[in-house]
C-alpha cells in the first residue's frame, strides 16, 4: 500500500516464484482518513496493470514490500483460496494503519 496525491491510498501486490514474479496493480483506492481498503482484484476486472517478469529477479527490489499477512488476517493458504474461488467474492481487507501506524 502507498499514499498518493491528496491522501489517496492504493496498493500493488507481487507473487514471488523461484524464477519469476508477477506484479499486480489494482485500481481501487481509498482516501484518508479511511484506512481499510476492501480489495477485490478480480471483481469487475479491477486491474490497472499486470507485469510478468521471467528469470531471476533482484530480491532487493522488493525490500520495502510487506507480507500480506501483516496487512490482513489472511494466511497464504486463505489468500490462495480467496483468489482462486468465486471471482465476485475474491475480496479481502488491507489495513493501511498496520503498515503506517498513526500517531
Which residue range is the domain that position 79 belongs to? Answer: 10-99
Measured CA to CA, the distance from residue 95 to residue 55 in angstroms comes to 32
Assess if residue 41 is contained within a domain.
Answer: yes
Measured CA to CA, the distance from residue 86 to residue 17 in angstroms comes to 24
Assess if residue 2 is contained within a domain.
Answer: no
- Look at the pTM and tell me if it is higher than 0.85: no
List strands edge to edge, sheet with 12-17. Answer: 12-17, 20-26, 47-54
pLDDT of the chain, 103 residues: tens digit per residue: 888 888 888 888 888 888 888 888 877 788 888 889 888 877 766 677 888 888 777 767 777 788 888 888 888 899 889 888 888 888 889 888 888 887 5
Total number of domains in the chain: 1
Assess if residue 40 is contained within a domain.
Answer: yes
Assess if residue 33 is contained within a domain.
Answer: yes
Q: Which pLDDT score, from 0 to 100, does residue 103 have?
A: 57
Assess if residue 84 is contained within a domain.
Answer: yes
Compute CA distances 93 → 15, 38, 98, whole Å. Answer: 18, 5, 11
Assess if residue 1 is contained within a domain.
Answer: no
Assess if residue 63 is contained within a domain.
Answer: yes
Amino acid at each position: 500500500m502507498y499514499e498518493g496525491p491528496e491522501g489517496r491510498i492504493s496498493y500493488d501486490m507481487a507473487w514471488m516464484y523461484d524464477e519469476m514474479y508477477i506484479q499486480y496493480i489494482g485500481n481501487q483506492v481509498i482516501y484518508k482518513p479511511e484506512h481499510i481498503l476492501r480489495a477485490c482484484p478480480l471483481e469487475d476486472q479491477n486491474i490497472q496493470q499486470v507485469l510478468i517478469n521471467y528469470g531471476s529477479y533482484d530480491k532487493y527490489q522488493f525490500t520495502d514490500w510487506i507480507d500480506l499477512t501483516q496487512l490482513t488476517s489472511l494466511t497464504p493458504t486463505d489468500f490462495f483460496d480467496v483468489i482462486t474461488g468465486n471471482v465476485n467474492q475474491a475480496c479481502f481487507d488491507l489495513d493501511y494503519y498496520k503498515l503506517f501506524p498513526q500517531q
